[in-house]
Amino acid sequence: MKKVKITVMRTASYGDLIEKYENPIEHACDMREGQVFVANGWERPEGFCVSAWDSMSPFVMTLAHGGGDLYGGWMKNKKSAMISCNDGFRPVSFLLEALEADAE
């Protein structure tokens, strides 16, 4: 099993949707563009958003186990995936890349 690098590529916030539909919350998302996490095989990196992990963990699992070429050539790098979290108010896009390093 391999380690998987997770890079925060883009964050967004839809203020109009938040104002119209969301109950006020104090703390929504800690992700910053350029931030990097490394998944040790199938394990969620410490401090990584649980909701985002739920969206991407099947892809991390596939890449960690040597899978690739997701959706028949979707990504230029066959050992990668671009996945977004499921927060419709503040979506975050993550680049997942299988590393050569073995998981511990």
| Counted domains in the chain | 1
pLDDT of residue 63: 95
Q: Are 89 and 14 in contact (CB under 8 A)?
A: yes
pLDDT of residue 91: 95
- Determine the structural domain holding residue 28 and report its residue range: 2-102
What global pTM score does this model have? 0.92
pLDDT of residue 19: 94
C-alpha distance from residue 6 to each of 32, 42, 88, 89 (Å): 12, 12, 20, 21
Q: Which residues of the chain have pLDDT under 70?
A: none
Choose among 95, 92, 53: nearest CA to 74: 95
